[in-house]
């Protein structure tokens, strides 16, 4: 039995798919190696493709993002991303100060909790600008207020020394007490 070119191609594709499915790690490594070898060509093609099909890609994006289930998922992902960045920055500040993730204001501003210990629940901890200027810090270079996620990303990029001198963790009670103490000093 003689196979036509089309049948031969389909049979070969089927064999290749079976091999890729059974050798996933080798296939991924081979694909990564191929990409690195021809990286510039892939980038050039990708730029050309997106430029050529810009309108249809934007339309597909709008349609995809308009679906309610995708909107809800996007909001959920954004919120989870914000939470993880916040936790990451709190962890970084604590480790730079050689302390656990807890309120740094204890006992200077009083006790954080009824049992007289520092607050350790991360969702209750706030970022405090040690030398003030929090409002100015949250304004971008353009003069517009940054979103929390943008601000977090900028803070995570700061050098360790600058971050240690700039921010500390306080619970809401200690943060308010610090603000009141600073206002009493001014008046």
Percent of the residues in the chain that have a pLDDT greater than 90, as a whole number? 35
DSSP state letter for 134? H
Q: CA 149 to CA 151: how far, in whole Å?
A: 5
The pTM of the full predicted model, rounded to 2 decimals, is 0.59
Q: What is the DSSP string of 33-61?
A: HHHHHTHHHHHHHHHHHHHHTHHHHHHHH
Q: Are residues 101 and 160 both part of a single domain?
A: yes
What per-residue confidence (pLDDT) applies to 110?
A: 65
Q: Do 121 and 169 lie in a common domain?
A: yes
Whether 156 is covered by a domain: the verdict is yes
Are 65 and 71 within 8 A, CB to CB?
yes
Domain-located, residue 58: no
State whether 90 and 140 are in the same domain.
yes
Residues 9 and 80 in one domain: no
pLDDT at 104 over 90: no
74 and 161 co-located in one domain: yes
Enumerate residues 6+ apart whose C-beta is below 8 A from 182. 132
Would you place residue 111 in the very low, low, confident or very high pLDDT band (cuts 50, 70, 90)? low
Tell me: do 9 and 81 sit in the same domain: no
Residues 129 and 155 grouped into a single domain: yes
Q: Are residues 130 and 160 in the same domain?
A: yes
pLDDT band at 114 (very low <50, low <70, confident <90, very high): low
- Both 112 and 78 in one domain: the answer is yes
Cα dihedral sign, 179-183-185-186? positive
Pair 98, 164 in one domain:
yes
| Lowest mean pLDDT across 58-62, 74-78, 89-93, 105-109 | 105-109
Residue with more model confidence, 120 or 7: 7
Strands 167-171, 125-129: pairing is antiparallel
Q: Is residue 114, in this structure, part of any structural domain at all?
A: yes
Helix (H, G, I), strand (E, B) or coil at 68: helix
Judged by DSSP in three states, 96 sits in: helix
State pLDDT tens for residues 123-132.
888 888 888 8
**Does 63 map to a domain?**
no
pLDDT band at residue 136, thresholds of 50, 70 and 90? confident
The residue segments making up the domain with residue 85 are: 70-186
Does any domain span residue 48?
Answer: yes
Residue 167, strand partner residues: 129
What CA–CA distance (Å, rounded) separates 105 from 111?
9
Assess whether pLDDT exceeds 70 at residue 8: yes
Distant-in-sequence, close-in-space partners of 168: CB < 8 Å, separation ≥ 6: 93, 97, 104, 105, 127, 128, 130
Q: Are residues 80 and 142 in the same domain?
A: yes
Distance, in Å, from the CA atom of 113 to the CA atom of 110, rounded to the nearest integer, reads 9
For 31-65, write each residue's pLDDT tens digit: 999 999 999 999 999 999 999 999 999 999 999 98
For residue 60, is it within any domain? no
Q: What ranges make up the beta strands (E) of the chain?
A: 125-129, 167-171
Output 12 or 177, whichever has higher pLDDT: 12
Cα of 116 vs its chain's centroid, Å: 34
- Work out the mean pLDDT of the chain and round it to a whole number: 86
Residue 65 lies in a domain: no
57 in a structural domain: no
- Please tell me whether residues 31 and 115 are part of one structural domain: no
Measured between alpha carbons, how far is 82 from 152 in angstroms, rounded to an integer? 8
Q: How many domains does the chain have?
A: 2
């Amino acid at each position: 039995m003689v196979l036509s070119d089309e049948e031969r191609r389909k049979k070969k594709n089927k064999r290749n798919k079976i091999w890729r499915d059974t050798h996933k790690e080798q296939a991924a490594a081979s694909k990564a190696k191929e990409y690195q070898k021809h990286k510039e060509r892939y980038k050039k093609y990708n730029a050309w493709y997106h430029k050529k099909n810009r309108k249809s890609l934007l339309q597909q994006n709008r349609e995809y993002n308009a679906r309610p289930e995708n909107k809800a998922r996007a909001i959920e992902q954004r919120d989870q991303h914000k939470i993880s960045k916040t936790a990451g920055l709190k962890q970084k500040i604590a480790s730079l100060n050689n302390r656990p993730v807890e309120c740094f204001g204890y006992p200077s501003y009083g006790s954080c909790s009824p049992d007289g210990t520092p607050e350790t629940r991360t969702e209750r901890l706030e970022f405090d600008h040690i030398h003030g200027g929090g409002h100015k810090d949250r304004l971008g270079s353009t003069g517009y207020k940054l979103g929390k996620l943008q601000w977090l990303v900028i803070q995570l990029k700061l050098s360790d020394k600058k971050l240690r001198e700039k921010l500390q963790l306080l619970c809401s009670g200690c943060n308010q007490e610090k603000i009141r103490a600073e206002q009493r000093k001014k008046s």
